[in-house]
Amino acid sequence: MTPAELERAHQSIEQKWYELVQAEQQGASVQDLERKYEKYLRAVDDYNRRSAAYQDKPRKRRFPGVA
């Protein structure tokens, strides 16, 4: 997991939210809105998993032996 991958996951969340809002403003059906909302929730779950993996990943210390 890299910071760039985490950023892409975050951008995916924003894109899914934008698509949901646009669909609602354009009068999409309830079924379509529900599908878009589910996609948004999956993107949030994906981001949360990636974020947790990134936080748990051991990182190389710049200066070995220094906390």
Q: What is the pLDDT of residues 43-53, one digit of tens each?
A: 999 999 999 98
Q: Do the domain assignments include residue 61?
A: no
pLDDT at 59: 63
- What is the reported pTM? 0.79
**Calpha distance 51→57 (Å, rounded):** 10
Q: Do the domain assignments include residue 32?
A: yes
Residues of the chain with confidence (pLDDT) below 50? none
How many structural domains are present in the chain? Answer: 1
**Calpha distance 62→31 (Å, rounded):** 51
pLDDT at 55: 85
**Calpha distance 41→7 (Å, rounded):** 17
Query: Maximum Cα–Cα distance for the chain, whole Å?
Result: 60
Q: Do the domain assignments include residue 66?
A: no
